[in-house]
Structure 1
């Protein structure tokens, strides 16, 4: 189970996702070579040996970077696993290197420097789910219920729900 953070080119003039106009659609993150170079610059220890995925491992966390195979790259989804807040500066470095904003998918808001977003609530939710016997886990899309998904679990009004172009290659 991962805490997901989406890196998208959302202009700074928008203070929240709710402020985006109806029908708004982000442009691409950038050309594939530029995106990979920016990731290497922000986090040189990232394993980018796969064609569409990267892996970054810290002392108490790991981040799978879902970059996709398209050129230009449409979005970068970070699948964060593990505990603690040590991963937050890495997320902000990646977002800054790409010139993008980080969206906390469990709460549907921008993740800003010095703010943990819904990270703690997600970790508590994850710990409860993993501690519950099979068949008794709470329902919903994380601690906030829907996150970026609209009614029925589909995309929200801006089409950001399920924005990762592919499923995680690792379970859990």
Structure 2
């Protein structure tokens, strides 16, 4: 089970996805080559052996990056697993490197830098879902 965070190029001042006009179409993140270069610069330990699916491992977490087959890249989906808050700065570092904003797919909210509420809510849900009843 993973916490899914979608990275999209959205306006910097946007507070909520609901504030976007109905006809808004975000620009692409960039070419596949540019996305790979930005990811390698932001998180040097990333494995991009599969150009459509990156993997980044931290001390107590892992992130799989769904980059996709399209060129240009329209968005990047982060599948986050683990249990420590030190993954949050990495998510924001990746988002900034790609010129994107992180969108929490479980809450429908944009993530705020330094605010772990969505990550904590996911962990609570996950732990309840995978822990058997006594």
Q: TM-score range by the shorter chain?
A: over 0.9
The yes-or-no answer on 1:72 pairing with 2:46 is no
Moved over 3 A (4+): none
Aligned-residue Cα RMSD (Å) equals 1.1
Structure with the largest fraction of helix: 2
**Structure 2 residue runs without a partner (length 5+):** none
Residue 9 (structure 2) aligns with: 9
CA distance in 1, matches of 2:95, 2:31: 15
Partner residue, 2:62: 62
Q: Higher relative CO (CA 8 A, sep ≥ 6), structure 1 or 2?
A: 2
Aligned-partner Cα distance in 2 for 1:75–1:113: 19
- TM-score, normalization by structure 2: 0.94
Corresponding residue pairs, total: 133
What SS does structure 2 have at the residue aligned with 1:119?
Answer: helix
The reply on whether 1:96 has 2:96 as its aligned counterpart is yes
Does 2:48 match 1:40?
no
Checking the alignment, whether the CA contact within 8 Å between 1:65 and 1:79 is kept in structure 2 is: yes
1:27-69 Cα distance to aligned partner (Å, 9 max, x none): 2111111000000000000000013000000111000000001
User: 2:55, 2:61 → 1: CA distance?
Assistant: 11
Secondary structure in structure 2 of the residue aligned to 1:49: strand
Which structure shows the higher strand fraction? 2
